[in-house]
Chains A and B, each alone.
Chain A
Amino acid sequence: MQITDPTDSRRTSPSASPSTGPADGRSAARAATRPVWDAFIRLFHWLLVAAVTIGAVTGLVLGPTWLKLHLLAGTTAAALVLARIIWGYLGGRFARFEGFVEGPLKTLRHIAELRDNRAPRHVGHNPAGGWMILFLIAAILLLAVTGTIALGGIFKTGPLGYAISYDLGDRVNGLHNWLAWGLLGLIAFHVAGAIFESLRTRENLPLAMITGRKRVGRGDILPPARSAHPRRAALIMLGTAAAAALIGITLAGRAVPRLPVARLDPTYASECGDCHVPYNPSLMSSDRWRLLMNSLENHFGEDASLDDATRRQLTEWITAHAAETVDTKPAHVLAQADPANPISLTATPFWKKAHAAIPDSVFARKPIFARSNCTACHGDAETGMFYPANIKIPEETTK
């Protein structure tokens, strides 16, 4: 609900006060402005710009190795939006939802007035801009929710790691991706709207989001006067943050079902680990492991035969912890084998696709040496988790 301000003649520029030094020519222009966007709104807006930019670049361009920064950006964006919602009930007249959220009829009328070039000037958000704020808030919250579900299902971490299956996480991740493009679309409209309104009202609106001040004009439409309650709002924001952190940490601490075997069998670790990374048994299904254990005499170009008792003992341990016993991403994505070489992980279609951008020279260099040397870059390869944030391609060593 907004009201026209027929008599607003308050001159509320700080430069009008005598303590700010000699008056210059600009002080007259400044005197005709009023504070609109308070410090919280401005800080919120630009921090959100930064968080969303980082989230979009890390998520859509840089890819999974930037997951840590992506999660930080997403968490920040969600926290900012939650704080903004609280401020939407306890902030001043321009911050409150009641001041800029209009019904669909009023909004359509405003759009029609814009079309006919007779729309009044809203000092705060105009009805279309108000809806945009709600859409942006909803999109960012949905992104946070779908991101948390995807993180839990795919990487078995975060507050929902214990609750979400890989399949569900994978599907929700698709939704997360679509929402991300949707948010970028909304932002494009938001920026276009700000440019349009800047031209229409001859006022630099992005600048107003920095200075917080806007020109005072005749016939301006103002939201109803409300006083801000910054202390109460800060208290509720802190309480919400503490509660969210507590719930998040508690949920994240819950035991995750169907994880790879945590401790490698010592015989496995020494018999297989003497020559190569002791691959976590969860990376292959038990039928592929049996094929491998039955062809050790010709093992990727070497004789790796074992005495029969050891071979049987290891086969039993490996198949008891094979891919079908876990719900990790590697177990799912590596399940599709190369029919010509079913016991090779590096021959699987997923492996090839995921490493396609890495040149042969990187694999050949010290201390990597071979494609099969997972641990050289995946710090947690032996756990079978392959969390993207644990990827670090080492520089070439000369020793």
Chain B
Amino acid sequence: MNRTMHRIMPALVLGALALGQPLSADPARDAIINQLKAEAGVSSFSAERGKQFFHARHSGGKPQTPSCATCHTSDPRNSGQTRVGKVIEPMAVSRNPSRFTDPKKVAKWFRRNCRSVLGRECSAREKGDFLTYLSNL
């Protein structure tokens, strides 16, 4: 490695770190997450818990859809697919920046898919963890 490389290396590292920062810079998405924080009575959500929730096999829902990953695949950065073959855009905000910016849409799909997968409404904390995981992926 030459000297120039040595000199710009810290800048490169910093830049890479900056890109790795949470991408949930959209005010609409922040508002949705903050609203959930208020509902759940917590000050922060856990991306790790959200990840487990996303990949877990749940019971109580409809047998065709035991997990989020059933339709959204095990890597939410990829496109998913409905049971009848329609493409679902990636869930990860890094791949699909418009995700989770429309509160009505977010509410609709949590309502439908929580019932389909878990057989019940999701709690505010489950929703917040889920959004935090997908916003920082």
Contact = CB atoms under 8 A, between A and B. Distances in A.
A368 interface: yes
B65 interface: yes
Interface residues of B, number: 16
A276 interface: yes
A301 B119 CA distance: 12
Contacts of A368: 85
A376 B64 CA distance: 22
B84 A369 contact: yes
Contacts of B132: none
B116 interface: yes
B65 A302 contact: yes
A241 B37 CA distance: 77
Contact of A302 (B81, B111, B112): B112
A274 interface: yes
B82 to A, nearest CB: 5
A369 B80 CA distance: 13
Contact-residue bracket for chain A = 20 to 34
B117 to A, nearest CB: 9
A368 B63 CA distance: 22
B85 A301 contact: no
A376 B81 CA distance: 14
A302 B86 contact: no
B108 interface: yes
A14 to B, nearest CB: 66
B86 A305 contact: no
Interface string B116-130: 100000000000000
B73 interface: no
Contacts of B85: 366-370, 373, 376
A274 B87 CA distance: 9
Interface of B: 62-65, 81-86, 108, 111-113, 115-116
Interface of A: 273-277, 297, 301-307, 366-370, 372-373, 376
10 contacts: A275-B82, A275-B86, A297-B115, A301-B83, A302-B65, A302-B112, A303-B115, A366-B85, A370-B83, A376-B85
Q: Top 4 A-B pairs ranked by shortest CB distance?
A: A369-B85, A303-B115, A370-B84, A301-B64
Given A305-B112, A367-B85, A373-B84, 5 more contacts: A276-B86, A302-B62, A302-B83, A303-B111, A372-B84
